[in-house]
Amino acid sequence: MILEGEEGEAKRIALKTIVKVGEVLGATRLVKLKRAHISGISYKNIGDEGLEFIRKLVELNANVACRTTTNPSAIPVNTEYLPVSEDFERRQKEIHSYLSTMGAELTLSCIPYEYSPPSLGEQIGWGESNAVLYANTILGARTNREAAPLTILEAIVARAPLIGLRTDEGRLPSCVVVVDKKLESEMKNNKIAPSIVGYTIGRVVKNGVPFIKCKVYGYIKEFLAGIGASSSIGMVHLDGISPEAEKATRHLRNLEKITVDYKEVRECEELITMSFEEADAYLLGCPHLSPSELKSILMYSTSTHRDISVILTTSAWVYQKFKQLIDKLRKRGFIVLPGTCLVVAPLENLDIKRIITDSAKAAYYLSSQGLEVSIVPREVILK
């Protein structure tokens, strides 16, 4: 009925596209989705073509058919902290308005698993690499790394092709990764950021579903974001952490074994970073900082005067629910940017050339935009 247009042209186009994608990739049927997460909503990234794509769907009376959240946009909730032109702001807010009209929640965050966590085995349609890795790896939900336009179409019909990480066989381990003890010790003692270890694993493995033997010591989402930034991987099994890891151990025999050591991580770090001591700004929040992380940063830091700006990025929903916390952080001298991420923001409006961060994902994307970036553990930044 949908394909025949009986429920509107927007649903017909969405489902027709999804079916074609499924046919090309070898799916035999679709699955129903309980929630979706739309990536690629930054005007800086999608431009007028992406804006027009979303506008046309709204003109066709498109509405989301399941709970739908949204990724960070190009501007923060408070634009005075990141000035942009009136035209740029208008176009970004037009994207916000269209998504809201469709029924999507303007969470403006890359960590939907903090706001609306799916359950074990639940089928979801998520874009955003770190969110996909976290959902599959830590929560045991099921989603592929969906392209941004496809996340919108899947949200409109709440359907996706049954392929890849949505299937039992697609979630079986493809190799075993062992992180050596020295490297684990360096992470534990805040001498190396977990995110660059994840980035190295992703760069070495590239694809598949690696079974990883490693103690991450508290920075799991940053670790997973590093993997996603350097590879097409959408899921890993973390030994002793992932809900499907114990079952996965039955399938490790005869798999390729890959060892990642300290030297390899340092060599990989040099590919996306530079060595310098003075920076224009520090950056924390790629992936976005959760309320508990913001509270921890507030407790950890006592200074109200900073020679170098410390930028914290978090979601719009955190700003709405924890505004007092954000106000306290700002009084403590932090620059808090809710609803955006420097990776998708127009940095040409800021006088920033050198950034120190704890995020390999941020380092990878910011360095590709011409900035000089250095990676250090979070505790070092907050000293």
- Domain residue spans of the chain: 9-166, 172-271, 273-382
193/189 Cα distance (integer angstroms): 10
End-to-end CA distance of the chain, in Å?
A: 61
Considering the entire predicted model, what is its pTM? Answer: 0.96
Pairing between strand 210-213 and 175-179?
A: parallel
Asked if residue 38 lies in contact with residue 69, where contact means CB atoms within 8 angstroms, the answer is yes
Return mean pLDDT, the chain: 95
pLDDT along the chain (383 residues), means of 10: 96 98 96 97 97 98 98 91 90 98 97 96 97 98 96 98 98 97 91 96 98 92 97 97 97 96 94 86 96 94 76 95 94 94 89 94 95 93 84
Are 345 and 366 in contact, with CB atoms under 8 Å apart? no
Sheet of 281-289, strands arranged across: 335-338, 309-314, 281-289, 354-357, 372-375
The architecture in CATH of the region 273-382 reads 2-Layer Sandwich (3.30)
Residue 14 structure tokens? 């969405």
What's the Cα-to-Cα distance from 366 to each of 88, 153, 352, rounded to whole Å? 20, 29, 11
Beta pairing, strands 159-161 & 30-32: antiparallel
Nearest to 359 by CA among 130, 38, 185: 130
DSSP label at residue 192 = S
- Per-residue pLDDT tens for 16-63? 999 999 999 999 999 999 999 999 999 999 999 999 999 999 999 999
Report pLDDT digits (tens) over 282-309.
999 999 999 999 999 999 886 666 778 8
The CATH class of 9-166 is alpha beta
Determine the Cα–Cα distance for residues 38 and 256; give it in Å rounded to an integer: 35
How many CB atoms are closer than 10 A to CB 238? 21
d(CA 36, CA 25): 20
